[in-house]
Amino acid sequence: MLERLVESLEASPMTKRGDYNYFIHPITDGVPICEPALLREVGCAMVRMLDLEGVDKIVVAEAMGIHIGVTLSLMTDLPLVIVRKRPYGLPGEVAIHQTTGYSKGELYLNGVSEGDRVVIVDDVCSTGGTMRAILSALDQIGAEVADICVVITRGDEDIGRPFKTLVKVAVSESGVRVVDTYR
Ligand SMILES: O=P(O)(O)OC[C@H]1O[C@H](OP(=O)(O)OP(=O)(O)O)[C@H](O)[C@@H]1O
Ligand code: HPA
C-alpha cells in the first residue's frame, strides 16, 4: 500500500520558488503525468482513513485538490465542492485570503451551508495556510468539519485541529524523503 506514492515522491524533480524548495509530482502538480494506478492508490487509502460517517460533502481547493476530490467523489458518491480562485458573486459566497509558502491569493467558497457536515481533502499541507483559510470560511458558515486528510504533509504546521495525512515528507534542495507512511 502507498508504494507508488512513496517511490514517485522520492523521485520528484526539484525547483525553487523564491527560497522555497518546491518538489514537482503528479499528485501536487499534475506533471508530468498522473497515472490512474496512483490516483486509485491515493483514493483507496483516503477512503480507508477518513471518517465519512454522516458526511454530506467533500471540500477541496483549486487546483490540485480537484483530481483527488473527483476520485473520492466517484468512490463514495458524495458531492464535491471546489473552493475556487475566482469569485462568482453568488449569494452566500465566502471570500478567503490564502497564504502558502510561496504565494498569496484569494479563494472563494460556494455550495456549503450552515449545518453541513464536510470532509476536506487536499494534495499537500506545507505551511498550513490554505487549510487554515478553508477552515475559517467553513467555521464562518457554520459547517461542521468531520475530518481532514491530505496526501502529503511537509513540515510541522499547526492548522488548529488534528488532521490526517497519507505520508509525511522531509524536503531539501536535493529532493524529497518520505519519513512516515500512514495507512
Ligand atoms: O500548506 P500551504 O502552504 O498552504 O500549501 C499547500 C497548498 O499549496 C498548493 O496550492 P496552490 O495555492 O499553490 O495552488 P495549486 O493547487 O493551483 O497548485 C497545494 O495545492 C495546497 O492547496
Ligand atoms: O513543494 C511543493 N510541491 C508541490 N506543491 C506544493 N504545495 C505546497 N508545497 C508544494
- What is the ipTM score, two decimals? 0.97
Kind and range of the H or E run holding 38: helix 36-49
Q: Which amino acid belongs to residue 52?
A: L
Give the integer Cα–Cα distance in Å for 104 and 129.
Answer: 9
* Domain 3-181, classified CATH 3.40.47.10, yes or no: no
What confidence score (pLDDT) does residue 139 get?
98
Q: Among the atoms of ligand 1, which is closest to the Cα of residue 125?
A: 1
| 183 pLDDT more than 80 | no
| 173 pLDDT more than 90 | yes
Q: Which of 68, 126, 154 best tests ligand 1's pocket when mutated (most atoms within 8 Å of CB)?
A: 126
| 91 pLDDT more than 90 | yes
What confidence score (pLDDT) does residue 1 get?
84
Rounded percentage of the chain residues whose pLDDT exceeds 90: 97
Q: How far is the CA of 130 from the centre of ligand 1 (A)?
A: 6
Give the integer Cα–Cα distance in Å for 132 and 167.
Answer: 20
How does DSSP assign 49-69, residue by residue? HS--TT--EEEEETTTTHHHH
Question: By alpha-carbon position, which residue is closest to atom 10 of ligand 2?
Answer: 22
Q: Does the CB atom of residue 61 touch ligand 1 within 6 A?
A: yes
What confidence score (pLDDT) does residue 157 get?
84
Question: By alpha-carbon position, which residue is closest to atom 7 of ligand 2?
Answer: 124
Of 143, 150, 92, the C-alpha closest to 120 is 150
Q: Which listed ligand is nearest to 98 at the C-alpha?
A: 1
Q: How far is the CA of 7 from the centre of ligand 1 (A)?
A: 22
